[in-house]
Amino acid sequence: MSAIANDEDAVVIVGSGAGGGTLAYELTSKGIPVVVLEAGPYIKNEDYTNDEWEAFTRMAWTDNRTNSGSWRIARDFPNLPAWTVKAVGGSTSHWSGATPRFKPHEFKARTAYGHVDGATLLDWPIDLPEMARWYDKAEIAMGSTHRHGRKPLPANNNYKVLAEGAKRVGYKYYATGPYATNAEEYDGRPASIQDGFNFQGDKNKSKWSTLVREIPRAEATGLLDLRPNSHAAQITHDARGRADAVLYIDENGAMRRQRAKLVAVAANSIETPRLLLLSASAMFPDGLANSSGHVGRNYMRHLTGSTFAQFDQPVNMFRGETMAGVIADESKHDTSRGFSGGYYMETISLGPAFLGKFLDPGAWGRGFTSFMEGYARTAGLWIVGEDLPQETNRVTLNAAVKDQHGLPVAHVHYDDHPNDKAMRDYAFAHTAALYESVGATRHYSTPPYPSTHNLGTSRMSARSEDGVVDKWGRAHDVPNLFISDGSVFTTGAAANPTLTIVALAIRQADYIATQLATGDL
């Protein structure tokens, strides 16, 4: 690992997850030195523990946050609006591994859906044909099953129940992938051992993460200066309005200043707008790169929820990969169902400890406890669908509450759109029918968990007045500031976002390298 002096101009990346870790590797592989500031520790795969709560406590971003709105998260988890990771590799250590691509209509939601009251729909300034080769590169890097000759994951019992139900209710598009977890050795990573622990990290390294692939490869170039336990507090700029440094708090609590010739922020869609808002100045009084007023707005977290069903015979859903099955039939846009956009159904397994916490927070009585007693006979799926952007769903600073560094915390406000409620109600009715078709004796629909898909708070737009960054993730207001995570999502689509974040980061690295080489940055 190469040490870069604090007074040396550098490409500085904030965050080491799907966007930041990918960008770091892609740039260092092109000969460009990079400093990565990661707020969390360097937890490696061998440090993981196959224990739900111990792993959560070690990995999760549990710094204080606040939230409000009509979503149940405000009641159930008032200080935990999001379930993300604070460690090298970011939430790629926690993610499920699902890698569906966007569909054509999802890049052009304003055109496809038309005007929807209360929604701030906007077409992306890119489309699927432009993204196709970058999706290819991302799938090959991540080892997506069912793609580019990759072997599919085996079917566990949870998937077999899902697939039989899908067949009986008439669905056609269901399989054990695509997922970025190896079914066979690939790219230096072993095949899955089907141990059932996925959200807790993957000790076996069969699941792709930037911790496993991109960070070690970037370190091997000798051009990466990775700084764990380094919390970015502010981005400063010069008299021309160009980013010139990142102020960060190191592991000893000291404030440091890293000079920058370019800054890329990939801190997740809650911390990214928080950092931009904390970087307000006389030139940017409403926050860095925020002349449009869109920084922090249009927060999306995907429409989510789960259905768990019980049967007379054991299912043992915990055996095999946590997520290793998907039904794609409902991911289309078909307003005859009563809503715009679509959703996927994906297998999910929670251990008894997590199921007890997330099945129905605050539930009490025999109905709840008897469901828990039937754990071995339980199958589960998760719905993930497109929630619509709304300006009022936003991340702001809560000046009344400070974090351990004395900085205002992020406040997340979220209200469901009527379209979201209609989609969730439709989805729950259809997941119940799916399980009933294979003999379920009872089922339980859960409220959404704390957000794992955080999107949209620095949205991509063709016009500067409509968003924060251009088609390359480059800030409209600050020419050497880039956003490199899910914050740039113009709309959310139904697809799990990590593949698209990685594809955009690979594409962005190619653009940055070209611009640096020509002197345009």
Digit-coded pLDDT (tens) for 473-499: 999 999 999 999 999 999 999 999 999
Secondary structure (H, E, C), 126-153: CCHHHHHHHHHHHHHHHCCCCCCCCCCC
Q: What is the DSSP string of 363-427?
A: --SHHHHHHHHTGGGEEEEEEEEPPPP-TTSEEEEEEEEE-TTSPEEEEEE----HHHHHHHHHH
Q: What is the pLDDT of residue 1?
A: 59
Does residue 519 fall inside a structural domain?
Answer: yes
pTM score, whole prediction: 0.98
What is the rounded CA–CA span in Å between residue 329 and residue 348? 18
Does residue 488 fall inside a structural domain?
Answer: yes
Residue 345 CA, chain-centre distance (Å), reads 17
What is the rounded CA–CA span in Å between residue 506 and residue 351? 35
Does residue 169 fall inside a structural domain?
Answer: no
Question: Could you give the angle at the alpha carbon of 57 between the alpha carbons of 52 and 61, nearest 5°?
Answer: 120
Please, how many CA atoms are within 13 Å of residue 360, restricted to the half-sphere of its CB?
A: 14
Bridge partners for 186 per DSSP: 189
Does residue 148 fall inside a structural domain?
Answer: no
E-state strands within 54-185: 66-68, 174-175
H-helix or E-strand spanning residue 53:
helix 52-59
What is the rounded CA–CA span in Å between residue 384 and residue 230? 33
As for how many domains the chain has, the answer is: 1
Does residue 243 fall inside a structural domain?
Answer: yes
Q: What is the pLDDT of residue 197?
A: 83
Q: What is the pLDDT of residue 139?
A: 98
Q: What is the pLDDT of residue 201?
A: 87
Distances (CA, A) of 348 to 164, 250, 286, 375, 518: 16, 37, 41, 13, 48
Number of helices (H), then strands (E), belonging to the chain: the values are 13, 17
Does residue 139 fall inside a structural domain?
Answer: yes
| Phi and psi angles of residue 505, each rounded to the nearest 5 degrees, phi first | -70, -40
Does residue 367 fall inside a structural domain?
Answer: no
Domain holding 43, by residue range, is 1-47+82-95+100-143+209-299+455-521
Distances (CA, A) of 299 to 5, 21, 115, 276, 492: 36, 23, 19, 15, 9
Bridge partners for 231 per DSSP: 249
Parts of the chain with a pLDDT under 70? 1
Helix (H, G, I), strand (E, B) or coil at 89: coil
Residue 89: which of 23, 26, 157, 17 has the closest Cα? 17
Q: Which residue has the tokens 């977290």?
A: 301
Distances (CA, A) of 270 to 12, 58, 381, 450, 451: 19, 20, 26, 13, 10
Q: What is the pLDDT of residue 198?
A: 82
Here the tokens at position 331 are 């991911």
Here the tokens at position 485 are 């995570």
The CATH number linked to 41 is 3.50.50.60
Q: What is the pLDDT of residue 521?
A: 85
Instruction: Please tell me the chain's helix, strand, coil percentages from 3-state DSSP, rounded to the nearest 5.
Output: 30, 20, 50
Q: 279-283 long-range CB contacts below 8 Å, 24 or more apart?
A: 279/234, 279/235, 279/236, 281/236, 281/237, 283/237, 283/241
What's the DSSP call for residue 240? T
Residue 174 CB neighbours (<10 A): 18
Does residue 286 fall inside a structural domain?
Answer: yes
